[in-house]
């Protein structure tokens, strides 16, 4: 195969694919963050903790209840989402009236508490989780060997992201959500139960983080710190895409994963900061983000 | 004359607050079935706040507010619309992230007998064929029509119309005036906040004048037309 910038195309394609896997997690998580920010005006610092919670619940239902990966893929997002909905009802709801800073501090604190609890109970070391039987093995793609499970992660994440985007952009429920983002009190005056909608939205987005946690369990170590490692990058993704832009969050998540992957081939030592460099450049040129609406 | 008709809305000594600022100071008024009643008054007199207090958008309130016997103060804000109240806000409230069709069908149907799309396009021909246009790309007059149309679709039979002619060209004002006459003929009950007296007197039965959060005067339409000096004194024109 030919070379591009001195790199064999096969290596490049391989990195693009690996980047897409990371990008899938960025997209799933930043999608939830973007919706939560758009609808609830909450900067949800606990999102990484919910992702970690999802991975741990996946591990717990396997170790304690013998529930395998496939049922966990359905059950865990529901459990995590319900937990999120309860958090919204009990705590976050009371903070909408006050400055955004309070909900940011609350979710940040919640993330620390959750992480600390899991570290106390399970220790800092990761718990192993097996790749489900059906998804073991590798795909021969010509330019690389792709573990089947990683291919599945990309497909599953994309499907869920696109489905979420379609619901928000094309359905009646989505129209309520978009309208309530703009003018909640008017939507409420039309007879729509906006507080209930906020709870469901938060629960759903936290469920998405839980779903990402299930997908992550067989790839990454299930460990208390796994969320906080990721959440900072995911916040950068949301800022680059434009706070509150849903399609933007998905596209930016995937493309930044790829950019990160490519940086690993060309200049490995910059790969951990490249996303933040992109963020700085985007903020200087388009403060509202690539897909955000200028206020 | 009008008092023999059935009372629909009854406000008694209604107070309301935006945060710390006390806006309504004991507003008292009533509206009978099928009436068009205007609220006149200077800027800041509390006209819009009266509507927002009725709808429950302003939550901090005291006093009595009843619609068809239902206590509005005790009704959660998302249930007010289901009593048949439809609100067309002054700023029109067209959503920029929704297209015209989505804006039009956003408010859920609350009562049977709402207008179908054919009736709506007959009333406001400008809206026809604009489904895919972004709501806020419509002209000001069209946005006003859309804001009214989406409420008429829900079957709401008590409409709160806040300054529908504000900032609109005279031809458009005429169209909206015609629409209002039709709505009245359909038997809808309407509260209209309006600065344009000519528009206000064209279809209204009675007028309230507000000042500093209270109703300070009340006229029948005949009285208002024959005694413009009295209303002008209130409005300071």
Read off the pLDDT of residues B6-48 as tens digits, 9 standing for 90 and up: 899 999 999 999 988 999 999 999 999 999 999 999 989 999 9
| CA pair distance B19, B17, nearest whole angstrom | 6
A179 at interface of B, judged by CB pairs closer than 8 A = yes
pLDDT of residue A292: 79
Residue A12's alpha-carbon distances to A1, A4, A270, in angstroms, are 11, 8, 16
What token pair was written down for B99?
A: 């297209």
One digit per residue, the tens of pLDDT, for chain A of length 295 reads 577 777 787 788 888 888 999 999 999 999 999 999 988 989 999 999 999 999 999 999 999 999 999 999 999 999 999 999 999 999 999 998 889 899 999 999 999 999 999 999 999 888 999 999 999 998 888 777 889 999 999 999 999 999 999 999 999 999 999 999 899 999 999 999 999 999 999 999 999 999 999 999 999 989 999 999 899 999 999 999 988 788 889 999 999 999 999 998 889 899 889 999 999 999 999 988 898 765 4
CB–CB contact A189 B87 (8 Å):
yes
Name the pLDDT band for B1 (thresholds 50, 70, 90): very low
DSSP state of A17: H
CB–CB contact A189 B97 (8 Å):
no
Does residue B196 register a pLDDT over 90? no
Question: For residue B110, which residues of chain A lie inside 8 Å, CB to CB?
Answer: 191
Hey, what domains does chain B have and what are their CATH numbers? 33-56+83-235 (3.40.50.300)
Question: For residue A195, which residues of chain B lie inside 8 Å, CB to CB?
Answer: 78
Average pLDDT of chain B to the nearest whole number: 92
DSSP state of A141: -
**Burial status of residue A134 (CB atoms within 10 A of its CB: 0-12, 13-18, 19 or more):** exposed
B82 at interface of A, judged by CB pairs closer than 8 A = yes
Question: For residue A172, which residues of chain B lie inside 8 Å, CB to CB?
Answer: 105
Bridge-based pairing of strands B36-41 and A3-4 is unpaired
Name the pLDDT band for B202 (thresholds 50, 70, 90): confident
pLDDT of residue B195: 86
CB–CB contact A189 B106 (8 Å):
no
Min distance A200 CA to chain B CA atoms (Å): 16
Read off the pLDDT of residues B76-127 as tens digits, 9 standing for 90 and up: 999 999 999 999 999 999 999 999 999 999 999 999 989 999 999 999 999 9
Q: What are phi and psi of B202, to 5 degrees?
A: -65, -35
Residue A116's alpha-carbon distances to A46, A111, A268, B178, in angstroms, are 13, 8, 32, 67
pLDDT of residue A1: 58
Q: Is the dihedral of CA A243, A244, A246, A247 positive or negative?
A: negative
Question: For residue A178, which residues of chain B lie inside 8 Å, CB to CB?
Answer: 95, 97-98
Q: Which position has the token pair 């959660």?
A: B76
pLDDT of residue B2: 47
Question: Any idea which of A59-63, B23-27, B169-173, B232-236 has the lowest mean pLDDT?
Answer: B232-236
Q: Which position has the token pair 């409409």?
A: B159
Question: For residue A188, which residues of chain B lie inside 8 Å, CB to CB?
Answer: 57, 77-78
pLDDT of residue A116: 96
Q: Which residue of B has its CA nearest to A191?
A: B78
Does residue B237 register a pLDDT over 70? no
Mutation for A interface: B81, B97, B99, most A CBs within 10 A: B97
Confirm if B151 and B109 have CB atoms less than 8 A apart: no
What token pair was written down for B164?
A: 């529908």
CB–CB contact B77 A188 (8 Å):
yes
Q: Which residue of A has its CA nearest to B98?
A: A175
Bridge-based pairing of strands B158-162 and B21-32 is unpaired
A185 at interface of B, judged by CB pairs closer than 8 A = yes
| CA pair distance B68, B90, nearest whole angstrom | 25
DSSP E strand stretches across A19-154: 138-140, 145-147
For the entire predicted model, the pTM comes to 0.89
Sheet harboring B85-88: ordered strands across? B85-88, B158-162, B189-193, B36-41, B206-211, B214-220
CB–CB contact B97 A179 (8 Å):
yes
Phi-psi region of A285 (alpha: psi -120 to 50; beta: other; left: phi over 0): alpha
């Amino acid at each position: 195969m030919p070379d591009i910038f001195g790199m064999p195309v096969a290596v490049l394609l391989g990195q693009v694919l690996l980047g897409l896997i990371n990008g899938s997690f960025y997209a799933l998580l930043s999608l939830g963050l973007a919706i939560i920010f758009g609808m609830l005006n909450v900067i949800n610092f606990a999102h990484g903790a919910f992702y970690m919670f999802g991975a741990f619940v996946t591990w717990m239902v396997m170790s304690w209840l013998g529930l395998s990966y496939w049922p966990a893929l359905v059950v865990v997002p529901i459990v995590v989402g319900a937990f999120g909905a309860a958090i919204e009802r009990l705590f976050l709801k009371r903070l909408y009236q006050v400055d955004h800073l309070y909900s940011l501090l609350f979710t940040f604190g919640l993330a620390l508490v959750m992480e600390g609890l899991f570290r106390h109970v399970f220790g800092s070391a990761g718990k192993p989780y097996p790749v489900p039987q059906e998804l073991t093995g590798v795909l021969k793609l010509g330019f690389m060997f792709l573990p089947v499970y990683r291919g599945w992660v990309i497909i599953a994440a994309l499907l869920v992201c696109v489905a979420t985007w379609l619901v928000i952009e094309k359905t009646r429920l989505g129209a309520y959500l978009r309208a309530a983002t703009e003018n909640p009190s008017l939507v409420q005056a039309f007879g729509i139960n906006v507080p209930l909608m906020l709870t469901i939205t938060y629960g759903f987005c936290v469920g998405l983080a839980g779903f990402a946690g299930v997908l992550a369990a067989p790839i990454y170590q299930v460990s208390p710190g796994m969320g906080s490692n990721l959440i900072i990058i995911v916040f950068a993704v949301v800022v680059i895409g434009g706070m509150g832009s849903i399609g933007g969050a998905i596209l930016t998540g995937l493309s930044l994963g790829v950019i990160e992957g490519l940086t690993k081939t060309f200049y490995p030592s910059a790969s951990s900061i490249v996303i933040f460099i992109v963020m700085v450049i985007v903020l200087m040129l388009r403060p509202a983000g690539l897909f955000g609406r200028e206020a | 004359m009008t008092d023999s008709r059935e009372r629909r809305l009854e406000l008694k000594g209604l107070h309301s607050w935006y945060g710390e600022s006390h806006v309504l100071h004991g507003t008292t008024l009533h509206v009978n079935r099928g009436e068009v009643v205007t609220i006149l008054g200077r800027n800041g007199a509390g006209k819009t706040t009266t509507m927002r207090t009725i709808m429950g958008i302003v939550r901090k309130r005291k006093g009595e507010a009843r619609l068809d016997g239902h206590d509005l103060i005790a009704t959660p804000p998302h249930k007010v619309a289901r009593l048949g109240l439809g609100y067309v806000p002054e700023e029109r409230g067209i959503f920029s992230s929704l297209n015209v069709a989505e804006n039009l069908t956003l408010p859920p149907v609350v009562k049977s007998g709402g207008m179908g799309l054919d009736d709506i396009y007959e009333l406001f021909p400008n809206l026809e064929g604009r489904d895919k246009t972004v709501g806020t790309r419509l002209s000001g007059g069209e946005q006003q029509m859309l804001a009214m149309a989406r409420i008429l679709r829900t079957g709401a039979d008590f409409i709160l119309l806040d300054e529908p002619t504000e900032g609109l060209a005279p031809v458009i004002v005429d169209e909206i005036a015609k629409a209002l006459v039709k709505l009245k003929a359909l038997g809808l009950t309407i509260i209209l906040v309006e600065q344009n007296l000519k528009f206000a007197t064209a279809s209204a039965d009675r007028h309230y004048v507000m000042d500093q959060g209270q109703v300070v005067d009340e006229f029948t339409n005949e009285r208002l037309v024959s005694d413009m000096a009295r209303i002008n004194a209130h409005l300071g024109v």
